[in-house]
Amino acid sequence: MRAIIAQVNALDADMIVVAGDVLPDRNLACQHLKAHEIVPLLRPLRAPLGVFSVLGNHDWRDCRQAMETGGAENSVVEAFSGEGMALLRNESRQLSHLGYPFWVVGFDSQIPLRWGQKPFVRPDEAFAQVPEGAPAILLAHEPDYFAKGDTRPILQISGHTHGGQFVLLGRRPMTPSRYGDRYSIGHIVEGGRHLIVSAGIGYSGMPFRFGVPPEIVVIEVVRHDATTTHLAEIEEASCND
């Protein structure tokens, strides 16, 4: 984690986002650190516009505290609060870059803690403070929300899939999505809307990757001209470890 954070800081990004799943899959054969041991490792991350995080499904389903309280308490939320770090849970923050305002919006997980329970995500609440038509970048751990066709964000950044974790005959059959590998990895454009899915650095289910190296994704968002604010171009590059 320390080596990865040093790599991220060396990229000199304007803004850093952590797209969820601080906690590991409880079924993985690994050393299972607690949230209060993991979250402080993120403290050295530095960017002029800030560092923003959202919760992933494992931050709920693999949090013993959340399971025992039915979602009323969460050790990851408490750890972020204790560190004074920005964790966006169905909320937004207004930022400005080179004099141009934009919003970063963060969803909570779209996957409920238990069957029959409502998902933690509340999109209208998350966008409530964003003016209509204002440029907004959405952080949503699970990429499936992109299929809903919401036009409020100019860009959605997601994780969750681990890039499918392995490639078999050109397919990614382990992608955890109701849409198969449609949103498994990379830059996806549908109807003029943009989604970038990072393969991330971890594992789920099985502790291996095949044909899907871990990555840190660098995204460049460019203004079209001086009078309109929209996504004109996204250039994506990954720093493969």
Domain boundaries, the chain: 2-240
78 CB-near residues (< 8 Å, 6+ apart):
35, 36, 65
49-83 burial, b if ≥16 CB within 10 A, otherwise e?
A: ebbbbbbbbbbbbbbebbeeeebeebbbbebbeee
Global pTM value: 0.90
The pLDDT of residue 133 is above 70:
yes
CATH for the stretch 2-240: 3.60.21
**pLDDT, tens digit, 9 for 90 and up, residues 204-240:** 877 888 889 999 999 999 877 644 444 444 455 555 5
| pLDDT number for residue 240 | 52
pLDDT at 231: 44
Question: In degrees to the nearest 10, what's the CA dihedral of 41, 42, 46, 52?
Answer: -170
